[in-house]
Amino acid sequence: MMNIHIMTLFPEMVMGGLGTSIIGRAMDKGILSIEAVNIRDYAYNKHQSVDDYPYGGGAGMLMQAEPVYQCYQAIQEKINAAKREKSADIDKEEKSISEKKTRVLYMSPQGRTFSQRMAEELAEEEELIFLCGHYEGIDERVLEEIVTDYVSIGDYVLTGGELPAMVMVDAISRMVPGVLHNDVSAEFESFQGNLLEYPQYSRPEIWHEKRVPEILLSGHHANIEKWRREQSVIRTALNRPDLLDKAELTKQERELAVSCSSVRKE
């Protein structure tokens, strides 16, 4: 089971978005554990304020270091306690309890751009912590102390880190075995192998005078897979040619991509 911990000022927003559909069902089945931890619960004043004016002046408020750090510490202690409990029956000589630092992902435009490859990488982790900033950001000192990965979902500004965290959790969760009804669907979809997904069709066979491609009705699986692969190459060449440099293509597929790119330029 993968355990995801989200440090946020708006836990209802996070859990309301993630607690439905496929991700919600995976949580109900115990395949995923997702919790939103309210940073305000770790404020050290009676008003539970977590922000203050930045040194040096400037517009807006800044999230203070201590509430964020205490929230992180509580999560890390919980993770370590669970590991100790899990390892209680194992001979200490065979397996020592590893209390290594959990990966902490901070949603920031300064970070690496999130991608399918990164989602696959992060899905290998047993524990992940997401840190959602607000206001004008978070005191740099606590970021230096706890954050392991700065991650961006694009070159634009949002009001907080909750939406980027939810996007990432959704993408990562889909890669966890058992989350999707058909695990194969996680392997053959958009951006797999740096190619866009091929077009898909369902019933009826004719809709608005448009027919399903004959090849998909043939029952010849090898030819269907070949057609789908070609369509992925064509779509990528026409819509996201930047992905082709990283894709593993045969000589014929490369020629097909070049011809499509030429049409696109015209």
Q: Give per-residue pLDDT as tens, 122-143.
A: 999 999 999 999 988 999 999 9
Q: Are 168 and 130 in contact (CB under 8 A)?
A: yes
Q: How far apart are CA 127 and CA 38, in angstroms?
A: 18
Cβ neighbourhood burial of 156 (10 Å; 0-12, 13-18, 19+): exposed
**Would the pLDDT of 189 be above 60?**
no
**Would the pLDDT of 257 be above 70?**
yes
Structure tokens at 125: 């982790």
Looking at 30-34, 179-183, 262-266, which range is the least confident one?
262-266
Confidence at residue 184, expressed as pLDDT on a 0 to 100 scale: 52
Report, as an integer, the average pLDDT of 206-210: 96
Q: What is the mean pLDDT of the chain?
A: 91
239-246 LR contacts (CB < 8 Å, sep 24+): 239/196, 240/196, 243/191, 243/194, 243/195, 243/196, 244/194, 246/194
- Name the pLDDT band for 265 (thresholds 50, 70, 90): low
Q: Are 159 and 136 in contact (CB under 8 A)?
A: no
- Name the pLDDT band for 187 (thresholds 50, 70, 90): low
> Is pLDDT larger for residue 93 or for residue 21?
21
Q: How far apart are CA 81 and CA 44, in angstroms?
A: 24
Q: Which residues, at least 6 apart from 71, have a Cβ–Cβ distance to it below 8 Å? A: 7, 37, 38, 39, 41, 42
Confidence at residue 91, expressed as pLDDT on a 0 to 100 scale: 56
**Would the pLDDT of 26 be above 50?**
yes
Task: Tell me which residue of 102, 100, 157 sits closest to 130, measured CA to CA.
Answer: 102
**Would the pLDDT of 255 be above 80?**
yes
Confidence at residue 135, expressed as pLDDT on a 0 to 100 scale: 87
Confidence at residue 98, expressed as pLDDT on a 0 to 100 scale: 55
Q: How far apart are CA 162 and CA 210, in angstroms?
A: 41
CATH numbers and ranges of domains, the chain: 2-173 (3.40.1280.10), 192-265 (1.10.1270.20)
Q: How far apart are the first and last CA of the chain?
A: 50
Structure tokens at 225: 């897979």
Confidence at residue 185, expressed as pLDDT on a 0 to 100 scale: 55
- Buried (b) or exposed (e) across 228-254, using 16+ Cβ within 10 A? bbebbbbbbbeeeeeebeebebeeebe
Element (H, E) at 264: helix 251-265
- Buried (b) or exposed (e) across 172-193, using 16+ Cβ within 10 A? bbbbbeebbeeeeebeeeebee
